[in-house]
């Protein structure tokens, strides 16, 4: 138990550590986009350790991220997502992916839309790209978390529970969504990276080309021309305007400065000093070619990564040694590559659309499969009972070959079960007959009769007594010795049949053994017992035809009455036996005797 507890703590610490690190160091994509994955591990913690631990872990992860220059909006969305998913898991019993999807559609995206258009400064297709990438990021994280929870045995590791179980529609949903999202995401990332590289090469070439136009003219300027340009000389300004006219049409910003970094010329509304300060004091430079750089600003504390997408620029700088002039050309990403960003935004949106279509498709597939298998499930529910009761079973059929094969297997199994049940019932009947019925005559045996007798006398009332007729055949031994046991058995069967007819449904007939039989008459009067005895004698004394032989036996009957002359089962049997022997010893072949007449005669003799 302690080992399992330590393992549980170790798994939790590992998941929390990974979520914190993943939040601090997101996966960097091109165009300033990031793929943030701490949600995966926080949702796993939430599912394994419960709502309080999951929410606390989200607070820790977000808090550490904010402390190390994290995103305020990112931290807020992270905490609210874990809280919302935790509540849905606890009270609605929804899946992780379904709960996260509902959160982002109902809460997360409306909040993020407000942030993008009000606080981030993004607009146009840059804003759309930021929105769809954020939604896609978190939906994919939720999907990965659910897949890991479903197929990785976390609970067995930390709780010692049995293997993970999952429904068929979960498996189908995961396969379909992965088949859509995984290859498309790989394609998007590859296309994004390829386009970024192409843009960098193209931009480096464009910047060098534009700079070459200017440098070919300005590299040979003398100090007089430079001074005239600084003083806004008409001729010099016009010449530079004509040189960079094409560049200005490309939305590039050109700065011409002297050796002291004083502005000689600029077509940008911002001052050179602010631009140079911005590029010098903050941000990240990535060399993309000779004298060409990509610049991305530092992320302001508490702001989201998407806020810096629109501030990215491409730079080209060249310095003339002859006259100490320097040229800086800036190409803002926002204005230069609107079409490329639009293309990526649409591709991200397409992936989201495909995921939605995949969800709808799996929902339809789930409904079809559940309906189809539901019919089979309804048919096979309680199948053993239906087979025992010989109920009519209508087997469902579809156009699916595999389903029909499964149905055929059930049919075959049902047929075999029916045969097994039949054989089992026959065996049970045989065992029942062996336990409670005489194997020769088919009437109840001694063991079964004694149980019935005990139960019957236990409920006897003081009104009409229970009557026992104890019977023994007369002349049977002679038939058995003369004609053999087969003939004797045939006689016993015939006598048992006649006794059964005589008793009808009123009495309970049993064979005690040999040629001894008993009949129990519940709540029977003395007169009714005498009538039954006379009927039995009449039936038994009729001749029996067997193998061309005419056979005849008699019967001696002793009658005892419970609560009249007997007060226990043993007394009832014993007194009936005694009365039967009195009948057998008296003159005449067949007669019946009441036990109380024997006791009265004994009292008189005394």
Three-state secondary structure string covering 252-293: CEEEEECCCCCEEEECCCCCHHHHHHHHHHCCEEEEEECCEE
User: Taking the domain 196-342, which CATH number applies?
Assistant: 3.30.450
Question: In this predicted structure, which of 26-40, 239-253, 336-350, 377-391 has the lowest mean pLDDT?
Answer: 239-253
* % of the chain at pLDDT higher than 70: 86
- Closest by CA to 558, choosing from 590, 526, 592, is 592
* Sign (positive or negative) of CA dihedral 176, 181, 182, 183: positive
End-to-end CA distance of the chain: 86
pLDDT value of residue 308 = 65
Return the higher-pLDDT residue of 4 and 328.
328
Return the higher-pLDDT residue of 366 and 356.
356
Three-state secondary structure call for residue 400? coil
As to burial, measured by CB atoms within 10 angstroms (0-12 exposed, 13-18 middle, 19+ buried), residue 527 is exposed
Confidence bin at 276 (pLDDT 50/70/90): low
591 pairs with which residues across the strands? Answer: 556
Confidence bin at 129 (pLDDT 50/70/90): confident
User: Taking the domain 2-166, which CATH number applies?
Assistant: 1.10.1760.20
Q: What is the mean pLDDT of the chain?
A: 80
Do 529 and 561 contact (CB within 8 A), yes or no?
yes
As to burial, measured by CB atoms within 10 angstroms (0-12 exposed, 13-18 middle, 19+ buried), residue 503 is buried
Determine the Cα–Cα distance for residues 289 and 293; give it in Å rounded to an integer. 7
Confidence bin at 606 (pLDDT 50/70/90): very low
Question: At a CB cut-off of 8 Å and minimum separation 6, what does 430 contact?
Answer: none
Confidence bin at 33 (pLDDT 50/70/90): low
Determine the Cα–Cα distance for residues 453 and 449; give it in Å rounded to an integer. 6
pLDDT value of residue 520 = 92
Residue 82 has pLDDT above 90, yes or no: yes
Question: At a CB cut-off of 8 Å and minimum separation 6, what does 363 contact?
Answer: none
Return the higher-pLDDT residue of 534 and 375.
534
Do 499 and 541 contact (CB within 8 A), yes or no?
no
As to burial, measured by CB atoms within 10 angstroms (0-12 exposed, 13-18 middle, 19+ buried), residue 220 is exposed
Residue 603 has pLDDT above 60, yes or no: no
- Closest by CA to 349, choosing from 194, 129, 127, 32, is 129
Confidence bin at 24 (pLDDT 50/70/90): confident
Confidence bin at 1 (pLDDT 50/70/90): low
Residue 292 has pLDDT above 50, yes or no: yes
> Given the DSSP bridges, would you call strands 326-332 and 467-474 parallel, antiparallel or unpaired?
unpaired
Return the higher-pLDDT residue of 447 and 206.
447
pLDDT tens-digit series, residues 242-271: 766 655 555 677 877 777 767 777 776 665
* % of the chain at pLDDT higher than 90: 21
Determine the Cα–Cα distance for residues 544 and 549; give it in Å rounded to an integer. 8
pLDDT value of residue 605 = 39
Which two tokens mark 175? 């396969």
Q: Which residue has the tokens 């606080």?
A: 119
Return the higher-pLDDT residue of 58 and 504.
58
> Given the DSSP bridges, would you call strands 591-594 and 516-521 parallel, antiparallel or unpaired?
unpaired
pLDDT value of residue 52 = 93
Determine the Cα–Cα distance for residues 509 and 521; give it in Å rounded to an integer. 9
Return the higher-pLDDT residue of 12 and 525.
12
Confidence bin at 88 (pLDDT 50/70/90): very high
Question: In this predicted structure, which of 158-167, 314-323, 390-399, 415-424 has the lowest mean pLDDT?
Answer: 158-167
Return the higher-pLDDT residue of 113 and 297.
113
**Region 569-583 average pLDDT:** 91
**Region 142-158 average pLDDT:** 86
**Helix spans in 289-400 (H):** 333-336, 338-380, 383-388
Residue 153 has pLDDT above 90, yes or no: no
Of the ranges 17-21, 319-323, 453-457, the best mean pLDDT one: 17-21
User: What value, to the nearest 5°, has the Cα angle with vertex 261 and ends 255 and 262?
Assistant: 80
Homologous superfamily of 446-605? Reverse transcriptase/Diguanylate cyclase domain (3.30.70.270)
């Amino acid at each position: 138990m302690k080992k399992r507890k330590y393992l549980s703590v170790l798994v939790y610490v590992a998941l929390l550590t990974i979520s914190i690190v993943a939040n601090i160091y997101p996966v960097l994509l091109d165009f300033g986009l990031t793929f943030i994955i701490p949600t995966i591990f926080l949702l796993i913690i939430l599912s394994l350790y419960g709502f309080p631990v999951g929410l606390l872990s989200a607070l820790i992860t977000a808090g550490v991220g904010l402390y190390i220059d994290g995103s305020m909006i990112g931290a807020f969305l992270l905490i609210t997502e874990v809280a919302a998913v935790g509540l849905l898991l606890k009270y609605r019993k929804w899946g992780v992916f379904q709960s996260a999807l509902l959160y982002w559609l109902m809460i997360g995206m409306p909040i993020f839309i407000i942030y993008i258009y009000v606080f981030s400064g993004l607009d146009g297709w840059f804003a759309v790209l930021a929105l769809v990438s954020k939604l896609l990021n978190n939906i994919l994280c939720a999907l990965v978390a659910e897949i890991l929870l479903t197929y990785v045995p976390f609970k067995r590791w930390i709780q010692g529970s049995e293997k993970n179980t999952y429904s068929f529609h979960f498996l189908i949903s995961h396969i379909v969504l992965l088949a859509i999202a995984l290859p498309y995401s790989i394609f998007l990332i590859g296309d994004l990276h390829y386009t970024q590289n192409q843009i960098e090469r193209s931009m480096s070439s464009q910047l060098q080309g534009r700079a070459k136009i200017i440098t070919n003219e300005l590299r040979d300027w003398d100090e007089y021309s430079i001074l005239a340009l600084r003083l806004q000389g008409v001729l010099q300004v016009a010449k530079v305007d004509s040189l960079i006219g094409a560049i200005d049409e490309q939305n590039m910003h050109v700065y011409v400065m002297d050796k002291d970094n004083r502005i000689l010329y600029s077509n940008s509304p911002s001052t050179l000093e602010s631009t140079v300060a911005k590029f010098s004091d903050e941000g990240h430079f990535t060399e993309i070619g000779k004298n060409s750089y990509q610049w991305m600003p530092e992320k302001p504390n508490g702001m989201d990564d998407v806020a810096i997408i629109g501030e990215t620029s491409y730079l080209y700088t060249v310095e003339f040694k002859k006259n100490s002039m320097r040229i800086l050309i800036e190409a803002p990403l926002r204005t230069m590559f609107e079409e490329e960003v639009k293309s990526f935004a649409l591709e991200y949106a397409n992936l989201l659309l495909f995921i939605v279509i995949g969800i709808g498709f799996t929902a339809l597939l789930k409904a079809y499969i559940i309906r189809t298998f539901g019919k089979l499930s309804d048919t096979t529910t309680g199948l053993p009972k239906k087979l025992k009761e010989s109920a009519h079973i209508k087997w469902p059929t579809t156009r699916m070959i595999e389903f029909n094969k499964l149905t055929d297997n059930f049919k075959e199994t049902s047929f075999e079960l029916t045969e097994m049940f039949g054989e089992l019932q026959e065996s049970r009947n045989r065992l029942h007959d062996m336990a409670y019925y005489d194997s020769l005559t088919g009437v109840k045996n001694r063991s079964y009769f004694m149980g019935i007798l005990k139960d019957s006398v236990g409920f006897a009332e003081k009104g009409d007594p229970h009557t026992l007729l104890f019977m023994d055949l007369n002349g049977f031994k002679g038939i058995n010795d003369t004609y053999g046991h087969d003939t004797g058995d045939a006689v016993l069967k015939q006598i048992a049949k006649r006794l059964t007819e005589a008793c009808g449904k009123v009495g309970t007939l049993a064979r005690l053994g040999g040629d001894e039989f008993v009949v129990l008459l519940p709540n029977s009067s003395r007169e009714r017992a005498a009538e039954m005895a006379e009927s039995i004698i009449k039936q038994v004394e009729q001749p029996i035809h067997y193998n061309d032989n005419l056979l005849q036996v008699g019967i001696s009957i002793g009658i005892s009455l419970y609560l009249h002359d007997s007060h226990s089962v043993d007394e009832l049997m014993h007194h009936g036996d005694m009365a039967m022997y009195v009948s057998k010893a008296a003159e005449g072949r067949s007669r019946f005797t009441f036990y109380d007449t024997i006791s009265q005669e004994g009292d008189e003799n005394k």
